[in-house]
Amino acid sequence: MVTDFDTALLMRRIAEATRGDADAAYDLGVAFSTGTAGAALDLIAAHKWFNLSAARGNVAAAQARTEIAEDMTAREIATAQRAARDLLVGMQRRAA
């Protein structure tokens, strides 16, 4: 059962990750890959967040991304990569 507290924590981590926090992005990848901490199981979202964390140097995120990719189709991986790229572009625009 997802509580309001879980949802609030999830939204906070999303805000932190979209501001460039690699640890928050990793935590979101874990949450979406396991369907915990207020997140529904969503491998595309998990891959996206692991990808963003890995891009900021998180080695564990790179490994986790590789592991979940084994359970994804090429189309799902491409969708996740596009979502990560779009988020990065949006973050760069806000920073400028």
Range of the domain at 68: 4-95
| pLDDT at residue 95, as a whole number | 65
| pLDDT at residue 38, as a whole number | 87
DSSP letter (8 states) at residue 93: H
Using CA atoms, how far apart are residues 48 and 65, in angstroms rounded to an integer?
8
Is the pTM here over 0.95, yes or no?
A: no
Which tokens in the block code for residue 92? 């760069």
Using CA atoms, how far apart are residues 83 and 1, in angstroms rounded to an integer?
27
The domain total for the chain is 1
Long-range contacts of 25-32 (CB under 8 A, 24+ apart): 25/49, 25/50, 25/52, 25/53, 25/56, 25/58, 25/61, 26/50, 26/53, 26/58, 26/60, 26/61, 26/64, 29/53, 29/61, 29/64, 29/65, 30/64
Mean pLDDT per 10-residue segment, the chain (96 residues):
84 93 96 93 98 96 97 98 92 70
Phi, psi (deg, nearest 5) at residue 60: -60, -35
